[in-house]
Amino acid sequence: EAQVTQNPRYLITVTGKKLTVTCSQNMNHEYMSWYRQDPGLGLRQIYYSMNVEVTDKGDVPEGYKVSRKEKRNFPLILESPSPNQTSLYFCASRGVSNQPQHFGDGTRLSIL
């Protein structure tokens, strides 16, 4: 089954404790992206990757890092999480440019 898998689904943690949200896709997609969803703001892009070792900032990259060492994986790293990063996070991937993006099931992060 074609899918984008995120882990964990839920996480409660404390300020400053480094965390990683993993994202993996099994569709051999080149393009992958991270979004955060906040009430009244919709989803906003954090980072994206056009291919292995090619990443770039989206609209709200502050406080986040990403890496793309393998085509299938695109982890989101919060090196020193803060409460304003409490949000719902989505990973997405896309094949050729005229195809829609596939989304993971979301990760709810709460940073206390």
Partner 1 sequence: AQTVTQSQPEMSVQEAETVTLSCTYDTSESNYYLFWYKQPPSRQMILVIRQEAYKQQNATENRFSVNFQKAAKSFSLKISDSQLGDTAMYFCAFSRYGNKLVFGAGTILRVKS
Question: Residues 6 or more apart from 91 whose CB is under 8 A from it?
Answer: 4, 6, 21, 23, 25, 32, 33, 34, 35, 74, 76, 103, 104
Q: Would you say 25 or 33 has its CB closer to partner 1?
A: 33
Residue 11 binds to partner 1 (criterion: CB under 8 A):
no
Q: Would you say 1 or 42 has its CB closer to partner 1?
A: 42
Residue 74 binds to partner 1 (criterion: CB under 8 A):
no
- Inter-CA distances, 109 with 20, 36, 74, 95, 99, Å: 11, 10, 17, 28, 29
Give the count of residues interacting with partner 1 (CB under 8 A): 27
Out of 7, 58, 67, 77, the residue judged to bind partner 1 by CB under 8 A: 58
Q: Would you say 43 or 52 has its CB closer to partner 1?
A: 43
Residue 35 binds to partner 1 (criterion: CB under 8 A):
yes
